[in-house]
Structure 1
């Protein structure tokens, strides 16, 4: 038996299709509000991180906002399990600005890591983990500024659209994305500081790398909590095994992860130990202090 649609039903189907096309068209226009994929200039690399200038390097997800915040003193709270049992929460919260990374939570861990979050630096690989828990990472402290970073190819295809859709649901959300030109500067900085090309050396920059640079840009002084020094995992006797993340007790051992990533040449890896050597050099240049554990 043939299915004959009434003229009225046909009209409704056509109208529905036109409405959906209009929504998609408007959505695409909104997603290109700052023309992310066209900003591919090759910027120079200033001699000092203080001269980079955050205003031009980070693009607002919506609106015409500018990342122009300045802090005299910042605390970077790492995701390391070294912070468990530290009772540093009150000290961290007294910092003028507090910077956290990816999906490291404060709920349930405030006594050791604090509650205050001024900036949260989020990698492309952690975007979904952060945005699917908006009550913890987006709406818990509306004054928090989210800074997303990732390879331009991945960001422009899907991830920026996801971030923008969440920002519509949370109009007070303040979010920025590292521009393609700024991402190029991060790569050039790695090559300048290590003598290695990130791509040919099969290295992935860590969120810690981005967070440290952003902190130096935004802050006069930086206190880093929970980051181990570059020689920590190779000292003898070897340190006790500790979870990589304080909020994931079953995560891999921290030192085992660092050493594997540093030595492996198959695939792409974060060079955590190499990055920490660079951070050690920056300490005196940019007024950076490390504690829990302390750096010599």
Structure 2
């Protein structure tokens, strides 16, 4: 005996089944439609600007325009249907050519009839000749090489092969090869053969930082925690010093030294005898070659480990390790410069970590701008002296110095005097302090990734996964101004900075400053 189902119930079940079936069909159709529209969008964006404009609009076509870096790519030029004219840019008068080569790409401006043509991505564009058919677009492919007879101030010469469009005027010879060489009266714009490294000028804010400093620096410019009272009339308006003059100024006015037991108030403290009897500049060195290894994230994948270890002495900062990063940063550690915050932080395990039990330790803590040692002793940023005593109990034989606080502010004065604008009233970074320390101990100093190389990244430290542009550009410390100063003193090439992040500085003891003012 079967079950009897009312007709109304059957109708409801049938209706629900039909709705579900229609919903499934609708989803399948919508998916197929989206796939088809995606293919159509890609095809139109690549091949038909007019169709893209008609279907999706000009803004969609602008977003979808493919980016094709490099040379050897065919480009439709001005006069082709559907291709807008390239943007007008200032250039030399009509009939002249301006060319500039930069590495594997080149910028070319050819103005046979006064019409400026340039591609901002490095592709050369030519105006269609008026004798050609108005509907015949001209396509070119540019190949770069350096012939022996190229202009001496031009890095690369251009061979341009012109390939006519099928609808082009028959007068155009498909096999024509046009050689573009500058004339004697040509305007040549020389460029380096490599991408220029960031340049740190006298007023860097708002240019290299992309607006970063304009957002973060003002609060630190307003603060004056250390009571800085910089009163040297006319210092900022003084003539710009050369690199050699800056080096001599540092030698004369920055005295790198450390605390000793005979200095008050330490001479009257029970633990004062634990301080080294000689200042570090007398006890250490002199070294012939030295490396200052920053902790920048751009050291990753640098492969500089062997070069760094080839130096007689290597300085590292704070908690920067070598284990696991030997290929990029080396293994040697002669001196480790640490700040009082690292010493006081439980996360760094200062008293127990093996990282701080090898080499020579040099600690520093910022003091008020005009204070003496007694005032600083009672007003440290972090408990540097308490941690120093505790460390001495665990490691009594470890060479351990405390940098005299006058070094920080003497160095700060030099930065401010050589900048055309006020800088942060905070002490310099550990990077500049370590560089100054090694210049006092060595004949030749190489500083790695203090000025960013082509590997520049927002990764703060090579041993951490923390992104912060302030680690490169600075916010609390006047870091960008420090880099400006180091860039001016650099005796190496810009190419070294770009490829290796390496700055070359002379030791202060090697300078002959007898004739300097």
TM-score (norm 2): 0.39
Does residue 488 of structure 2 align to residue 272 of structure 1?
no
Match of 1:163 in 2: 388
Distance 2:354 2:409 in 1: 31
CA-based RMSD:
3.2
Match of 1:151 in 2: 366
- Higher Rg: 2
1:258–1:271 Cα contact (<8 Å) kept: no
Distance 1:63 1:256 in 2: 35
Structure 2 unmatched runs, 5+: 1-246, 261-273, 368-375, 505-517
Match of 2:259 in 1: 59
Does residue 431 of structure 2 align to residue 208 of structure 1?
yes
Equivalent of 1:252, from 462, 467, 487? Answer: 467
Match of 1:49 in 2: 250
Match of 2:491, SS state, is helix
The structure with more helix, counted as a fraction of residues: 1
The structure with more strand, counted as a fraction of residues: 1
Structure 1 unmatched runs, 5+: 1-45, 234-238, 263-268
CA shift in 2, pair 1:164/1:190, >3 Å: farther
> Mean alpha-carbon deviation: is it higher for 75-84 or for 63-72?
63-72
- Matches of residues 74-223 of structure 1 in structure 2 within 5 Å? 74-129=290-345, 132=350, 134-139=352-357, 141=358, 144-152=359-367, 153=376, 154-155=379-380, 158-194=383-419, 201-223=424-446
Distance 2:412 2:502 in 1: 28
2:300–2:462 Cα contact (<8 Å) kept: yes
* 1:27-68 Cα deviation digits (max 9, x unpaired): xxxxxxxxxxxxxxxxxxx954345454xx212562414312
Distance 1:145 1:123 in 2: 14
TM-score (norm 1): 0.65
2:351–2:391 Cα contact (<8 Å) kept: no
* 1:247-278 Cα deviation digits (max 9, x unpaired): 112x124x46545x45xxxxxx1222211010
Count residues with an aligned counterpart.
226
Alpha-carbon offset, residue 193 of structure 1: 2.9
Match of 2:500 in 1: 292
2:305–2:330 Cα contact (<8 Å) kept: yes
Large movers: runs of 4+ above 6 Å? none
